[in-house]
Amino acid sequence: GWGRRHGFGPLAVVAVADNGPGLGRLAPQHSIGLVTVASVLQDCGGRLQLENGVDGGAVATVELPLLAQVQTR
């Protein structure tokens, strides 16, 4: 996956789909929110991917690297 290619190890991946009109042309308020979310995810080593669904609607996929387990004594 994307995280392994960039040296992050295992990823948590969450995809959310809807049955709306798809991405089409996003309104400015949506674009600003998406840019903010993508920026925060990137700062955490993750990413946001947006695409139109196969049967309509849109799919938003969030990928974040998992933290390594910390061993305690």
The CB density around residue 46, as the number of other CB atoms within 10 Å, is 19
pTM: 0.72
pLDDT in tens, 17-48: 999 888 887 776 777 888 899 999 999 889 99
In contact, 52 and 23? CB cutoff 8 Å: yes
What is the sign of the dihedral through the CA atoms of 26, 29, 33 and 38? positive
